[in-house]
Amino acid sequence: MSQVKSEWLQISPELRAYYSRPDGSGPFPLILVFIEAFGVNEHFEDVAQRLAKEGFAAIVPDIYHGKVYDYQDFQNAIGHLRTLQDDVVMKEARASIAAAQERPEVAAGKIGIVGFCMGGRYTFLANAALAEHAAVAVAFYGGGIAPESDPAGRPPLLDHVPAMRAPITLLYGAEDQSILPDEHARIVAALSRAKKRYTLSVFPGAPHGFFSDRRDSYRREVAAEAWQITLNEFSKHLGAKQ
């Protein structure tokens, strides 16, 4: 694995992003990372660094603008989530991609996208809204993609499916009480009707948030398997210079 360099980048006066990359001149394929509802915390700094150790440059837009919530502070985290606007988040993601791709060590061309929880939903949306950039997308337990009724009041995203170009992998826990099998079915039906390339995997015994080792819902073996799936997808569609 590579040594990594990490820093905060000022994307605009209002927006910063956490950025991690392998040590060296590159060029390194770029991965856009969307956060959970708790902000750019140590876990997401670690996710970016883990991607960098695998040969990718990773950028995590701070769409919470400096706010970070404890994993036990669910009420305030979801309260912040409710204030986000999809078009603004996509604008900030696009600006973060542009800033990263101006750097000499970042490879030109298509990128990978990955996100978790709230960020899984944004990964699904970005695969359509930023289709000109996306080579591959992986969404971990993205809530709010196709619910019958979203508790946070967010619009469903299935209308965006026709705009997708890149393959998408969707990863869910079988014990996730917030994203039920009927929602999986609606997502599958929409992607299949639109003739899109996708994979949807459900992990037995895994609850929502199974990937983060900072959460009580962490499941080590499932997280490791899901991470390997993610790396395989990125390597297949982007390559990586070790």
Cite the active site residues.
117, 176, 208
DSSP string over 100-119: HHTSTTBPSS-EEEEEETHH
8 A C-beta contact, residue 96 and residue 128: no
Residues in the chain: 242
First to last CA, the chain: 7
Amino acid at position 66, single letter: G
By C-alpha distance, which of 91, 97, 80, 86 is closest to 19? 97
Q: Going by C-beta distance under 8 Å and a sequence separation of 6 or more, which residues neighbour residue 125?
A: 86, 89, 90, 157, 160
Give bridge partners of residue 18 from the DSSP assignment.
Answer: 8, 60
Cα separation, 156 vs 25, in Å, equals 41
Q: Write the CA distances from 10 to 28, 49, 100, 182, 190, integer angstroms.
A: 20, 18, 11, 41, 38
8 A C-beta contact, residue 142 and residue 170: yes
